[in-house]
């Protein structure tokens, strides 16, 4: 009789345990399961901690747990051919008929070709399924909002350059997990202008005068991507800050960008698109182009004045995984996800992310071997390095696909806040 009571009590206890397990959250279920596995294993019990493992030290080789390399040669980003006739403003383009991906794959523009001088433009395509003849028919400063599915920003009517402060980007989290940390872009804030605009433009131009191709350069095949990002950036500034920026078009000069903050004009056709950005947009841009030979993306052009430990010259021409090779655990944890993400990113879903660190003073550009790197090699006493020199540096980044070339654009800006300003 007593044994029957014990049996019944054990059964009820087991039933209550199962019910409790089913009603807790998934994260709690994982913890319980992990501990049960440790208790019941004949092997040495493992830790119940669910914190991420430490990064592998430089002298140890990390195990390769990532999936094997994927074949992206025949994988194209989502197309938006239906937007071509609307962007053009008439119905002269034959965009209604579907174009097989197999045909586009056979007739892709070569990796290093200039889209403006390719033979057979009507039968040569970009990775977006758009022929070079269709690209030409759209002209300059086309309706990129329609083509991409990303609307132009709302006008910032109450904006005053004299008092404008940058938004306090704070990409800080209590728990750390190595991920891509992607969030959907707030499209009204793709580019930002604030009271240091003129000073930052001046600083960036001085960096180019001093460093040349270390901060601005481009390779063959990047022409269309550079043109697109420049035109999209200027359209954004005109829509967001109409009281300071505007575009005009005339027969003798073509398109001219009018800058009411710097009180000057830029004749667009007189300079390379990246130089137009250097003169007017105080942010960085890296142009990643899809290689038709393997479907992977390569850094083919850029203006980067805020890089730390690297430069345009040291990375230009590299594949995405080669650019990120110095990052601990990138190959094991992120390479496959990043390559897959790049292959499928739609034009209508730009994203944003941020990284941060503590910096001595406010160095914008620090190429390899820069004397400022000495501060990273030792922990100096406060008598030599007072707190007043320490800043929180936030590198705010956006990522978006261009609608004509299919290029992917990294956009960066560095913001500094003195640590003493924090409570």
Q: Determine the pLDDT at residue 217.
A: 98
The whole-number average pLDDT for the span 178-201 is: 84
Inter-residue contact 238 to 280 (CB < 8 Å): no
pLDDT surpasses 80 at 272? yes
**CA dist 417 → 111, 331, 389, 393, 422 (Å):** 41, 32, 10, 7, 9
Looking up tokens 């992310």 gives: 353
pLDDT at 132: 97
pLDDT higher than 60, residue 414:
yes
Does residue 308 carry a pLDDT above 70? yes
CA dist., res. 147 & res. 244, Å (int): 26
pLDDT at 72: 92
Give every CB contact of residue 54 below 8 A, 6+ residues apart in sequence: none
pLDDT band at 332 (very low <50, low <70, confident <90, very high): confident
248: left (phi over 0), alpha (psi -120 to 50) or beta: beta
Q: Where residue 97 falls among pLDDT bands split at 50, 70, 90? A: low
- Mean pLDDT throughout 268-282? 98
Range 381-409 average pLDDT: 89
Helix axes 223-240, 273-280, angle to 10 degrees: 30
- Cα–Cα distance, 251 to 292 (Å, whole number): 37
DSSP-derived 3-state class of residue 36: helix
pLDDT of 155 higher than 50: yes
Instruction: Return the sign of the alpha-carbon dihedral for residues 362, 364, 367, 371.
Output: negative
Query: Quick check: 348 pLDDT over 70?
Result: yes
Residue 126 forms beta bridges with which residues?
A: none
- pLDDT recorded at residue 390: 87
User: Does residue 200 have a pLDDT over 80?
Assistant: yes
| Cα–Cα distance measured from residue 195 to residue 220, given in angstroms and rounded to the nearest whole number | 36
The single residue listed with the structure tokens 């261009």 is 402
- Average confidence (pLDDT) over 229-237: 98
* Least confident span in 189-198, 229-238, 311-320, 414-423: 414-423
Which run of H or E residues covers position 415?
strand 408-418
Looking at per-residue pLDDT, the higher value among 388 and 149 belongs to 149
At 67 the pLDDT is 58
**Pick from 32-46, 87-101, 168-182, 321-335: least confident:** 32-46
**CB-based contact 182:400 (threshold 8 Å):** no
| pLDDT of amino acid 32 | 43
| Close Cβ partners of 257 (under 8 Å, ≥ 6 residues apart) | 234, 245, 246, 247, 265, 266, 268, 276, 280
Query: Distance between CA 388 and CA 419 in Å, rounded?
Result: 7
Under a CB-based contact definition with an 8 Å cutoff, are residues 365 and 215 in contact?
yes
CA distance 361 to 371: 13
Q: Comparing 393 with 274, which gets the higher pLDDT?
A: 274
Whole-number pLDDT of residue 120: 94
Q: Is a pLDDT exceeding 60 seen at residue 360?
A: yes
Is 194's pLDDT higher than 70?
yes
Please give the average per-residue pLDDT across 132-137, as a whole number: 96
Cβ–Cβ contacts within 10 Å for residue 202, how many? Answer: 13
Give pLDDT tens digits for 210-225.
999 999 999 999 999 9
The chain-wide mean pLDDT, for the chain, equals 82
Query: What are residue 183's phi and psi, to 5 degrees?
Result: -135, 155
Confidence bin at 173 (pLDDT 50/70/90):
low
Query: Is residue 289 helix, strand or coil?
Result: strand
pLDDT surpassing 70 at residue 50? no
């Amino acid at each position: 009789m007593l044994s029957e009571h014990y049996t019944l009590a054990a059964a009820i206890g087991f039933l209550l345990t199962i019910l409790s397990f089913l009603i807790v959250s998934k994260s709690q279920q994982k913890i319980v399961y992990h501990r049960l596995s440790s208790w019941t294993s004949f092997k040495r019990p493992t830790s119940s901690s669910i914190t991420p493992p430490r990064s592998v030290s430089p002298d140890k080789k990390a195990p390769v747990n990532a999936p094997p390399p994927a074949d992206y040669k025949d994988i194209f980003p989502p197309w938006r051919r239906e937007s071509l006739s609307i962007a053009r403003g008439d119905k002269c383009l034959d965009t209604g008929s579907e174009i097989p991906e197999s045909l586009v794959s056979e007739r892709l523009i070569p990796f290093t070709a200039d889209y403006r001088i390719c033979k057979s433009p009507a039968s040569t395509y970009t990775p977006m399924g758009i022929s070079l003849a269709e690209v030409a028919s759209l002209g300059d400063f086309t309706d990129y909002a329609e083509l991409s599915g990303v609307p132009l920003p709302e006008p910032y009517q109450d904006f005053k350059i004299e008092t404008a402060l940058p938004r306090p980007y704070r990409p800080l989290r209590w728990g750390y997990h190595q991920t891509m940390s992607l969030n959907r872009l707030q499209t009204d804030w793709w580019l930002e202008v604030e009271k240091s605009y003129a000073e930052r433009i001046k600083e960036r131009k001085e960096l180019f005068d001093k460093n040349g191709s270390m901060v601005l350069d481009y390779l063959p095949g990047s022409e269309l991507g550079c043109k697109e990002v420049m035109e999209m950036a200027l359209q954004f500034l005109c829509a967001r800050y109409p009281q300071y920026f505007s575009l005009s078009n005339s027969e003798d000069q073509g398109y001219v960008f009018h800058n009411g903050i710097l009180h000057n004009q830029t004749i667009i056709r007189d300079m390379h698109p990246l130089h137009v950005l250097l003169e007017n947009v105080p942010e960085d841009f890296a142009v990643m182009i899809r290689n038709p030979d393997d479907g992977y993306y390569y850094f083919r052009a850029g203006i980067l004045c805020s890089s730390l430990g690297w430069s345009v010259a040291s990375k230009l021409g590299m594949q995405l995984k080669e650019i990120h090779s110095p990052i601990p655990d990138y190959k094991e944890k992120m390479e496959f996800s990043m390559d897959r993400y790049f292959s499928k990113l739609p034009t209508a879903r730009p994203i944003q992310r941020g990284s941060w660190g503590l910096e001595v003073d406010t160095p914008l550009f620090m190429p390899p071997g820069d004397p400022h790197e000495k501060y990273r090699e030792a922990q100096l006493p406060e008598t030599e390095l007072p707190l007043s020199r320490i800043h929180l540096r936030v590198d705010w980044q956006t990522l978006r696909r261009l609608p004509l070339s299919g290029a992917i654009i990294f956009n960066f800006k560095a913001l500094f806040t003195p640590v003493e300003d924090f409570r």
